[in-house]
Amino acid sequence: MSGFNPELIDYLEGKISFEEFEKRREERKSKEKAGSDEDDGVPPDDAVPSTSRVPRRTRKRQAEGVEEGVSPSVHKAFSSMLQQEDEELMEEDEDDDEEEDNDDDGEGGVEEEEEEEEEEEEEAAGEDEDEERIELPSAGDVFALEMELNRENKKMMRERRNRSKLPRALRGLMGEANIRYARGDKEDAITMCMEIIRQAPLAYEPFSTLAMIYEDQGDMEKSLQFGLIAAHLNPSDCEEWVKLADMSLEQDNIKQAIICYSKAIKYDSSNVRYLWERSKLYEQIGEHKLAMDGYRRLLSLLPPTDGEHFMQLSRDMAKSYYETCDLPAAIGVIEEALSRHPDLVTHECVNMAAELYIVNRQHAKALQVLLQFCGIVLQRDGSKQEAAGGRPDKAGESEPERPEGEKPQEEEEGEVQGVQIPEHIPVDIRIKLMVCLIHQHIFKPLGPMLTALMEQSPEELGDLYLDVAEAFLDEGEYSSALPLLSALVCSERYNLAVVWLRHAECLKALGHMEVAVKSYSKVVEMAPLHLEARLTLSTLQQQLGHPEQALQALESMHDPDTLAQDSTAAQQELKLLLHRSTLLNSQGRLEDYMDTVLTMLAMLLKVAMNRAQVCVVSSSRSGEKHLYLVKVTPDKVSDIDDQEAAYLDVVGKTNVLSKDDWWQLLLRAVCVLCELHRYEEAELLVDSSLEFYSFYDDRVKRKELEYFGLSATMLDRNYRRAYGYIRLMLMDSVDRPQLWNVFNQVTIHSQDVRHHRFCLRLMLKNPENHALCVLNGHNGFVSGSFKHALGQYMQAFRTRPNEPLYNLCIGLTFFHMASQKFVVKRHPLLLQGFSFLTRYSELRGHSQESLYNIGRALQQLGLSHLAIHYYQKALNTPPPSLEGIEDDQVDLRREIAFNLSLIYQASGNKEMVRHLLYTYCTI
């Protein structure tokens, strides 16, 4: 290695830095320049064009201390390479020379300059011409090489053709890395590969080598990752993708394995093994459709000579389609198999095809397949027979559908009298033939076949018994199905709930109700969650006159925890409760009926009851245990974080009934509660319903609920709660006299004056309302604001001057104003009061009530002698007779006699007092 400069060797071995390398190089060149000044025709070193001249930008980076060029990790690799044997170095130099001779013009220029520099160095050193020449890489050569690599990388990135992205200048290093890996020097090989990746990131070779290295080290995860990168950079290598798929499966990464197989299939789409493996992986992750698509591609790729594989795969696909309830696809696959390889059709294929056709209600096609491939012959009238293969299907074609029950064309030629079945036909196919004949209404040949079936033990062929029995049931042949079902329910193996259910249905259709009840009871005992069996059993018990047994059949099926979590269970329970409530209502058991209805409404109004602070509790108030609605305190109400989600959950569980059905059920519940005098619970139920979104958002339903709430509160004498309802109604409909009458009743009984402000505010918005005018007058009169009351009464009087009530109210107001202690012009007030009372008496007529009112006014003024006159006339006047009201309710003689007794008592006439009280006021 005498041809290398010592500073270059030290730099490549990492003993000195780049700055020190440059400094020593400059010192060496200055010495060489001083020694060569005597030589003529030889220019200075700096004057010769050379790639060793460092560009200005590079010098700037060197001044900043930033190394550029080959990284330090490669320096060590180069250092170890320089320490190899001389023969290997000579061979490598010769190979490099050959590669460089084939490079572009730029590299050729570099070679010429380097050769010139070598000649100058040889002259200066005085070396022999025969001495071994070794090319000396300078710092400029390193930078020029780096620039060339960058240009080649960019060129490789622009290329689209599928070839190696490894630049020529790095191929030697890649080969050296592989050699190091082969010799076991894996760390150096990894370092070289990383350097190659840094300079040529699109080359797949270093990634592939790294994958092999890490695989040898047992780091399968890193090996897989580097292998995936290499495969993506070189995607046409199908075997590599398959290997990566296997590695992914070893790490339980099925989805990544599917991606790898998909890449392999992309470049080798006709590979059956790749398609098969990917389809199996799709099945493992539940992608049934994608798996079936792959199997279909497999079928199209299989050659005609591989019929056995084709048939097996078709059977597997048809079975898979059948399990996922995709009958059309399953039938299509099996039809294609039968048409492509009819010679390879086995009894298993025929059995599967017939099963698929029967399930799809295509019994004519099922019968045709049995006749075509099993050698079965139908014997007809007129010596006509339909033999096997009589009408083979064409590939890809099928018999056109016809309505069920319509006779086939062969049957029109003659009625089927018998069936010839070869001995080797298995019993499964025989049973399917019987099912097809039953659905085609061909019953004559079935006698011997049924006899042969009944001779077999139901313990072994119970499923075939059931297939034939269900075919008879579908066609309404209950008497033929009953012996088969009876044999099954008596067996040990097939003594199942489904068999008992078919047996009960058959008995019910034949009219054997008592026996059918026993069979349905057996079904409920074996399958307590079977809703239809419970409902039918309850109906039969009710028809037979057993109401208690009918109710027992409708007992609850699920516990509360299951109902809260399982939507299907909640829906089944609702159906059961609905039938139970109907049955209880028909029996007149209203308390039990309310228990059922409250249970149902509690499921619907769960969130609404939570907001209304209402709960359903079980109590024994009347000696029997029933459900009641109660108001609870906020601390006893369970919090619901997401009200909207809970509401949607409730709606999902209660969608068995429509919104209108729920509405009718709610109204019926409120009415029944009122019939049972449970008015408070009716109020709570209405309050909860008003919190339910579906009812509250409907304006019509909301108004009707408010009317129900008002009625319930009035019946419950909860006038304070009734005031809230009537107040809202009046704000919405201020001109309805019925509402004002109810409002008057509520305010009279509630003994509350909070309605005064409400009436005043409403009067400001509706100044022309007649009822408000009168009510404000009453409120002012009661509170002692006689002038305000007089103004309101006069406004009403101007509107209706012939109304007796307004004349009475105005007259009484004048009397009260005149009775005050401090008043101006008392006598004019009395005159006006008497004038209005006289007008009132004229409008009402001289009745008991009008005379009493005048006498009461005179008594208040202290005019006792005049009051006695009017009271005596009122006592002698008979009470009015009003329709719908008892006479005792409008008779004022007790009040008149009591007032008279007060006057006589004040005058000292105790005999008259005693007479009046004993005559009119004694009960």
pLDDT means over runs of 10, the chain (923 residues):
57 61 72 59 39 38 38 43 40 44 39 43 42 48 64 54 70 86 86 87 87 88 87 85 87 86 82 79 80 75 75 80 80 83 84 87 88 83 52 38 43 68 86 89 85 86 88 89 90 88 91 91 89 90 88 84 81 88 89 90 87 86 84 74 73 84 92 92 91 87 91 90 88 86 86 80 84 87 86 88 89 87 82 89 86 89 88 88 78 89 90 89 79
Give the count of alpha carbons within 13 A of 177, CB side only: 24
Burial class (CB in 10 A: 0-12, 13-18, 19+), 564: middle
Identify residue 169 by its one-letter amino acid code.
A
Give the distance, in angstroms, between the CA of residue 184 and the centroid of all CA atoms in the same chain. Answer: 59
Least Cα distance to 51 among 155, 139, 180 occurs for 139
Q: How far is CA 610 from CA 590, 596, 635, in A?
A: 26, 20, 11
Using the 8-state DSSP alphabet, how is residue 163 labeled?
S
**Structure token digits, residue 399:** 């018999």
Residue-level pLDDT at 76 = 45
Residue-level pLDDT at 154 = 58
Residue-level pLDDT at 149 = 67
Q: How far is CA 836 from CA 417, 470, 556, 777, 782, in A?
A: 110, 93, 72, 16, 19
Strand (E) or helix (H) holding 900: helix 893-907
Report how far residue 856's alpha carbon sits from residue 838's, in angstroms, rounded to the nearest whole number. Answer: 13
Task: Give the gyration radius of the chain's Cα atoms.
Answer: 54
Report how far residue 389's alpha carbon sits from residue 810's, in angstroms, rounded to the nearest whole number. Answer: 111
Sheet holding 385-386, edge to edge: 385-386, 377-380, 416-420
Least Cα distance to 92 among 190, 192, 171, 153 occurs for 171
Q: How far is CA 611 from CA 158, 603, 614, in A?
A: 69, 14, 8
The contacts of residue 489 (CB under 8 Å, 6+ apart) are: 495, 499, 500, 503, 519
pTM of the predicted structure, to 2 decimals: 0.59
Is there a contact between 223 and 214 (Cβ–Cβ < 8 Å)? Answer: yes
Least Cα distance to 666 among 597, 599, 606, 575 occurs for 597
Helix ranges (DSSP H) in 360-457: 363-374, 409-413, 427-439, 446-454
Residue-level pLDDT at 673 = 92
Least Cα distance to 837 among 848, 849, 853, 824 occurs for 853
- The CA-to-CA distance between both ends of the chain, in Å, stands at 147
Helix ranges (DSSP H) in 783-847: 786-799, 804-818, 826-844
Residue-level pLDDT at 685 = 92
**Structure token digits, residue 644:** 């909207």
Residue listed under structure tokens 């008259």: 912
Report how far residue 785's alpha carbon sits from residue 883's, in angstroms, rounded to the nearest whole number. Answer: 37
Burial class (CB in 10 A: 0-12, 13-18, 19+), 403: exposed
Cα torsion angle, 698, 700, 701, 703, sign: positive
Using the 8-state DSSP alphabet, how is residue 544 labeled?
T
Is there a contact between 224 and 253 (Cβ–Cβ < 8 Å)? Answer: no
**Structure token digits, residue 827:** 């006598």
The contacts of residue 37 (CB under 8 Å, 6+ apart) are: none
Angle CA(812)–CA(813)–CA(815) in degrees, nearest 5? 65
Report how far residue 139's alpha carbon sits from residue 70's, in angstroms, rounded to the nearest whole number. Answer: 10
Burial class (CB in 10 A: 0-12, 13-18, 19+), 596: buried
Report how far residue 457's alpha carbon sits from residue 777's, in angstroms, rounded to the nearest whole number. Answer: 97
Residue-level pLDDT at 411 = 42
Q: Residue 105 CB: number of other CB atoms within 10 A? A: 7
Report how far residue 716's alpha carbon sits from residue 710's, in angstroms, rounded to the nearest whole number. Answer: 10
